[in-house]
Structure 1
Amino acid sequence: MECAFCADGLDHCHGTLVVHLEGGFTECSEDGCVDFDFARHTLTIDCLDVDGDCTCAEVEARLLLRAS
């Protein structure tokens, strides 16, 4: 099975774009990906959805406690 984007020669990435809450920076799960544009990534998630406890989760918890 071939990727339709690859077959059409479209610029894209097979990795998942991870958007961090703290600082709003992004990173990709695909080794070697250097262009973190949303348009290049079919899959985009918040860092809180990643296994491994992103440090942004601590920031969100502090904000929630402060707001309550």
Structure 2
Amino acid sequence: MSMECAFCAVGLDHCHGTLVVHLDGGFTECSEDGCVDFDFARHTLTIDCFDVDGGCSCAEVSAQALLRAS
């Protein structure tokens, strides 16, 4: 018995990748190769770049700015 994505089964426009939202102005990218539509509604999984394994350079800059402000 094979598993099938429920969104694929009903033909909904969606992406299996994770949408990554960068903290330096809201730039977004997707972990799925070939994804060109970065709409939140198409992605079940959405994370801030701060949560990316290995970190993100813009998350480091934002964290430093928060520390200076406090």
Partner Cα distance (1:64, 1:42) in 2:
29
Partner Cα distance (1:43, 1:57) in 2:
19
Partner Cα distance (1:4, 1:29) in 2:
20
**Gap regions ≥5 residues in structure 1:** none
**Gap regions ≥5 residues in structure 2:** none
Residues 22-50 of structure 1: CA deviation (Å, up to 9, x unaligned): 12110000000000000000000000100
Which residue number corresponds to residue 28 of structure 1? 30
Question: Identity rate of aligned residues, in percent?
Answer: 88
Runs of 4+ in 1 over 2 A off after TM superposition: none
TM-score by length of 1: 0.92
Partner Cα distance (1:49, 1:62) in 2:
16
Equivalenced residue count is: 68
Which residue number corresponds to residue 3 of structure 1? 5
Which residue number corresponds to residue 56 of structure 1? 58
TM-score by length of 2: 0.90
